[in-house]
Structure 1
Amino acid sequence: MHELAPLAHALAGYTPRRLRFRRRLKRAAVAVILRESRQGVDVLLAVRAQREGDPWSGDMAFPGGRVDGVDEASASRAACRETAEEVGLTIGRDDGIGRLNDRLTLDHRRRAPMVVSPFVYRLAHPDEPVLNHEIAATRWLALAWLDEPSNRQTMHWPIGHVRIPMPCYHCGDGQRLWGLTLAMLDELRTLTR
């Protein structure tokens, strides 16, 4: 079972990889929001709303979005702003307990590289999420559930005529956890092993 205090301590001593060229590319930031529960540490996941043309519709992800001018080039500020917009939770610098590795991905709107920076926050207050149109639902998932090998499965992601096997979790109700979100959670979970 994961506990928040050792995880926060591990994050305090962790040096995440920050891509040097991140400020020259399009950027996004996500908020990995943790809380303590009877199962140990839970993480907040947002279920993306169904949208035509969005290959990730219905998938689980962290709240977050693009870093833009209003964020004054602060990716952590963007993660906080997007969290408030998407799920109605207020988090700030004082709630931050660390960050994870920058991830290079593809901005599918422009077919260009994009850097995603994940920031980890502790949610001390028990507020309930208030969702906007981008989010269909939220779910608190115990990190301990992700530790069970029997819960981890494989899906096949189509790229052209090829189907690439990818690790995933099927979380019920058609909700699927995979890709960048899963890679970030795997990184977080390894910090306390």
Structure 2
Amino acid sequence: MHELAPLVIRLEQHRPRRNPLRRRLKRAAVAALLRDSRQGAEVLVIERAHRPGDPWSGDLALPGGRIEAGDDASASRAACRETGEEIGIAIDRSLGLGRLSDRLTLDHRRRRPMVISPFVYRWPLGARITPNEEIAGWQWIALAWLDEPANRGRLTWRLQGLAQCLAKSMPCYDCGDGRRLWGLTLSMLDELRRIGNGAGR
């Protein structure tokens, strides 16, 4: 079981990888919100709304989005703002527990590289989720559940319009009702699990 208190200590000691080009590329930021439960530390995962043409449609993810001019190029400020907009939860740096390593991905709007910076926050006491139209649902997932090899499976990922020979087998978790946790979000939560287990990166 991942107890929250020792995880917080390990997050303070964690040294995440920061992409050296992050200030020159398009950037986004996400928030991993943690709370304590009978199952140990849990992380909030949202389900993106199903929308035609949206490459993230229906995906399980962490709340977050692009850094905008009003964020003054602050990734953590963007993560807090987007969390408030998407699920109605007000967070700020006072609830910050640390950060995870930057991820390099593709900006689907312009087909250019984009850096995603994940930040970890403590769940505000008494907070209630009020999602906007971008969010179809949410659930809490225990890090201990993610630790169990029996819960981890595989999915076949294909880029739309490309030949089947480019299909790739990817790790995933079946979170019920056809929802699968995979891709960048899974890699972020894997890093969080490793920190909780004392393994760092």
Please give the range of the TM-score, normalised by the shorter of the 2 chains: over 0.9
* One-letter amino acid of the counterpart of residue 83, structure 2: T
1:142 equivalent in alignment to 2:128 = no
- Find the counterpart in structure 1 of residue 152 from structure 2: 152
In the superposition, the TM-score normalised over structure 1's length comes to 0.98
Report the alpha carbon displacement of residue 55 of structure 1 after superposing the two structures with TM.
Answer: 3.1
Matches within 5 A, 1:144-183: 144-159=144-159, 160-161=162-163, 162-183=166-187
Question: In the TM superposition, what whole-angstrom CA distance separates every residue of 1:160-183 from its partner, at most 9, and x where no partner exists?
Answer: 212100000110012110000000
Cross-structure match for 1:91: 91
- 1:96-107 pair list within 5 angstroms: 96-107=96-107
Match of 2:115 in 1: 115
Instruction: Please list every run of 5 or more consecutive structure 2 residues that lacks an aligned counterpart in the other structure.
Output: none
- 2:189 maps to 185
Contact kept in structure 1, 2:63 and 2:83, CA below 8 Å? yes
Range with greater deviation from structure 2 (122-131 or 180-189): 122-131
Q: CA deviation at 1:130?
A: 0.4
Matched residues in 1 for 2:126 and 2:178: separation? 26
Stretch of structure 1 that moved more, 153-162 or 76-85 = 153-162
CA distance in 2 between partners of 1:83 and 1:111 (Å):
25
RMSD of aligned alpha carbons: 0.8
Separation (CA, whole Å) in 1 of partners of 2:178 and 2:55? 14
Runs of 4+, deviation exceeding 3 Å: none
Q: Could you say what secondary structure the match of 2:185 adopts? A: helix
Count, aligned residues: 193
Match of 1:46 in 2: 46
The Cα of 1:126 is off from its aligned counterpart by 2.8
Q: Do the aligned residues in 1 keep the contact of 2:55 with 2:108 (CA within 8 Å)?
A: no
Q: Which amino acid aligns with 2:139?
A: R
1:56 Cα deviation after fit: 2.5
- DSSP 3-state at the match of 1:52: coil
Equivalent AA in structure 2 for residue 172 of structure 1? G
Cα distance in 2, alignment partners of residues 83 and 182 from structure 1 = 19
Separation of aligned partners in 1, 2:50 and 2:196:
35
Asked whether the equivalents of residues 49 and 57 of structure 1 are also in contact (C-alpha less than 8 Å), the reply is yes
SS state at 2:57 partner: coil
TM-score by length of 2: 0.94
Identify the residue that residue 7 of structure 1 maps to in structure 2: 7
Letter of the 1:177 counterpart = L
Shift of 1:192: 2.2
Structure 1 stretch displaced more, 15-24 or 121-130? 121-130
Contact 1:129 1:138 in 2 (8 A): no
> What is the alpha-carbon distance in structure 2 between the residues aligned to residue 56 and residue 119 of structure 1?
20
Please identify, of 105-114 and 126-135, the stretch whose mean Cα deviation from structure 2 is larger.
Answer: 126-135
Distance 2:70 2:138 in 1: 26
Match for 1:168: what amino acid? C
Shift of 1:27: 0.3
